[in-house]
Structures are given as structure tokens and as C-alpha cells.
Amino acid sequence: MFRIEAKSNPRFIEACFITLLIIATMAISIGYLKATPHIPIILVISLLIAYGLLKKVPFRELESGMVAGASAGLGAVFIFFFIGILISSWIMGGTIPTLIYYGFLTVSPSFFFAIVFLICSIVGISVGSSLTTVATVGVAFMGIAGAMDISLAITAGAIVSGAFFGDKMSPLSDTTNLASGTVGVDLFEHIKNMGWTTIPAFVISFALYALLSPSGANTSFETVEQFKIGLLSTGLIHWYTLLPIVVLVIMTLYKAPALITLAVVSIVGVGLAYIQEPLALSHVFNMLFKGYVSDTGIKDVDALLTRGGLNSMLFTIALVLLALTMGGLLFTLGIIQSILAKIESLFTSAGSVITGAALTGIGVNTLIGEQYLSILLTGEAFKAQFAKVGLAPKNLSRVMEDAGTVVNPLVPWSVCGIFIASVLDIPTTTYLPFTFFCLLGPVLTILFGWSGKTLTKL
């Protein structure tokens, strides 16, 4: 978006006022009125157009800025289409159900919190959705913790940490694809680079949950057994259904383009479905568009496996395009440039620019409560700043996830915070101190920024 030429030159105070007005509109709409983000973004776009016309900016220029902003996200949009198809194909082929089933085999009373964290991580990577993980296996683990009479707060913290680890590191995740697409980094290169901060955070979190786990707890684990029975009843649990993951790893090692990789492993998933049970081609096409529908009769299992399809990504795609359109207007009107020009003197080193980007991601999450906007706005605002200090774009995409994706569930009025508190029936402020993985993300990314470790130069 920095290629978008500013058509007005607002003063710093004026730009700050417009920014605060946008933040207030988004925060009240999402946090208080419980609106989906799309509507307040459209409202903000309308306000920005009105502001631009008052500043004598021709509508044609505003329209060009909107189109330029939206076009910046087309690469990510194409990936999203394939992600929806991939999820359907991996469920019908048995890959995702098998991964989840093997995860449940590790459940035991010992090291309970650590195992909850581990399984939610596996499920999160498998389905690419933190909220789906929380709403299914997360709810099951809260029930188990209640039966064991152990801390629900720590259990919820482990669930949220694992779910967002999986969401962050999964090639199926919309936020992961959005972060890489926003700054033009290959999806798998982005995931690999995140490992420098994410793996230490995972190891530290796992150790802390293991230390906090009670000993000698007894429970029947009936909920876990129901999940395992339900998964087995699908007839999709076979070792060979993990073949698409092998193909995915091989293609990633050979640095195949993300779009091609996703297409190939989707085809492999559909092929596995045909091996297990020949399906009418019309039925396959329907599932690839509308998603897989599970009918095991076990509510939680069906909720976990009924997902995917190209259609499931349209909500995210619409939000991304609207947010980028808003960003295009902000740049066309010179608002972002005015603010950055005032503070860019602070960004003279790798540590300072990484800290600035991290604080921006945290700030957008805190003030607006919207995960996608924290990624999009941080990426667009700091792309040029990272280049100025000689840092490769994948450093920025990592910061956007470390201080954007994982921070949203920690904000009580955010989209994720409200959802998780409602589903797990526990206040955000109660589980927040125990979301070790989410808390470590911003800390580690800033520490590595100032130390210069794990950073890639241009």
C-alpha cells in the first residue's frame, strides 16, 4: 500500500483524530454492540470517503485508492480459496480425523495441563482454527477438569494456548495465510521462520503446564472416550491417511509455491477418500464447496468435523477485502503517512522497528478488538520501515503473528476473547494469567528483535 500516493496532507493532530475516531467506531461496534467487523468497517469506509470529499479529494482518486488497497490482498484471497477446499478434502480423506484421534490417545491423568496444551495444539494445527478447537475439544477438557476438581482457570489457559499455537503454525489457518500474504512472504517460509520464536514459547509453556499439573487425579475420561468412539465410527481413522502430511512436508522442503502445494495435497486427500469409499463426483464437488458434514450422532465430534469448503472462507475473504479497502483509503488520504512521518525517527534500528510493530499489533487488538485488522494494519504500516532498517519481510510477518494473532484472546472485549469466555464459561481475565504461550509471543519477538538473533536481513 505504500505505493499508493497520498492525495492530501493532513496535519499530525488531524490524522490522530481521524485514527482515534476509527478506533472508537470499531471498538464500540464490536465490543459493545457485538457487531460483526464487516459492518463497522463499511461505516468507517463511508466516513473516510466523506472526509476525503471534504478535503477536496476527487471521488475517482478515492475509488482508485480503495481498489489499490483491496488488490493488495488478492494473493491471500486465492490462498484462502484453496484452504477451504483443503480442509474439506483432508476431512473426507481421513487426515484430520486421524490426527485428532492419535492426539486423544495421549490423554492421561498425569501431566493433565501439559496434555491438554499438547492435544489442543495438535487439533489446532489439524483444523487450522483456534475457535473451533476451543469450542469442541476445549469444552470437553473443561468438563474433564470439572470432574477431576482441578483448576478450571489453568485448564482454560492451556486450551487457549494450545489452540492458538495450532492456529498460528497451521498452513490451514486464515491468520497465518493473511500474515504471509499481507507482506508477500511464501506461506511455508513464514511458518518456518515463526519457529524461532514459537518453538521456545511452546517448550516453555509445556514445561510450565507440566509443573502445574496435579498428581494422582482420577477420572473416567468418559468425554474423551466419546470423542474417540465418534472418530472411529467415521471409518476414516487409518495410518495411511497421514500421507497428505508427508507430501506437504516434502513439497515444503523443495520450496514449492504454497498455492501449488495446497492444490496437490487437496487432490491427495480426495484420492484417499475414493480409496476408502468411492464417491460420486458431484458429491465431492459439493463437499469441496459447502464443506464436509459429519453425522456420527455425537454432537461434539460432528461439530469438530463439520467444516471446510470454499464457502466457509467467504466470511474471512470479505473481511480481508473490506479491511484492505479501508487501508487503501487511509493511505490515499495521507493519514498513515502523516502519523508515520512524525514517529519514524524513533525507528532507527531493528529492535526499535520490531518493538513498534509489536506494540501496534497489541494496540489494535486492545483498542479495536479485531484480530485480522491487527495483522493487516501492522503489516501495511511497517512494511517500508522494516525495509529501511534492512530486515526481510518475513521478520515482519512473524511479528504480526507473535503480537497480533495470539494477543486477541487475551482482550476481554475482543472477538476471540468474547467467544472463548462464552464457550468455556470462564472470564477472560481469569484464564489470562495462564495463557503462557500467548503471553510469551510478544515478549520473545521483542527480545529477539533487540538481540538481533534469528533475524533475516535483506
- Say what the pLDDT of residue 22 is: 86
CA 440 to chain centre: 16
Could you list the residue range(s) of the whole structural domain that residue 442 is in? 12-73+324-411+435-451
CA dihedral of 101, 103, 108, 113, whole degrees rounded to 10 = -140
In-domain check, residue 140: no
DSSP for 272-301 reads HHHHHS---HHHHHHHHHH-B---SS-HHH
Residue 61 grid coordinates: 482518486
CA atoms lying within 13 Å on the CB side of residue 314: 7
In a domain, 18, yes or no: yes
Is 406 inside a domain boundary? yes
pLDDT at site 220: 54
What pLDDT was estimated at residue 147?
Answer: 56
Is 128 strand, coil or helix?
coil
Are the beta carbons of 429 and 422 closer than 8 angstroms? no
For the question of whether the overall pTM of this predicted structure is more than 0.85, the answer is no
What averages of pLDDT result for each successive group of 10 residues across the chain (458 residues)? 75 90 84 82 93 93 90 76 85 86 74 90 83 76 71 94 92 86 88 93 95 69 78 89 85 77 89 87 91 85 84 81 84 84 78 91 78 82 87 93 91 78 83 95 93 86
Rounded to whole angstroms, the Cα distance separating 23 from 16 reads: 10
In a domain, 240, yes or no: no
292 found inside a domain:
no
Assign residue 57 a region (left: φ > 0; alpha: ψ between -120 and 50; beta: otherwise). Answer: beta
> 7 is written with which cell numbers?
492525495
- Residue 217's pLDDT is what? 54
| Residues whose CB falls within 8 Å of the CB of residue 149, separated by 6 or more in sequence, listed in order | none
pLDDT of residue 109: 66
* Residue 428 in domain: no
Q: Cell numbers of 178, please?
A: 493473511
pLDDT of residue 198: 94
Could you tell me if residue 391 is inside a domain? yes
Contact 458, 391 (CB under 8 A): yes
Per-residue cell: 336: 498513515
Per-position DSSP letters for 207-254, written without gaps between them: HHHHHH--SS-----HHHHHHHHHHHHTT---GGGGHHHHHHHHHHHT
Q: How many structural domains are present in the chain? A: 1
Spatial distance between the Cα atoms of 28 and 415, rounded to a whole number of angstroms: 12
Separation CA 100–CA 170 (nearest Å): 14
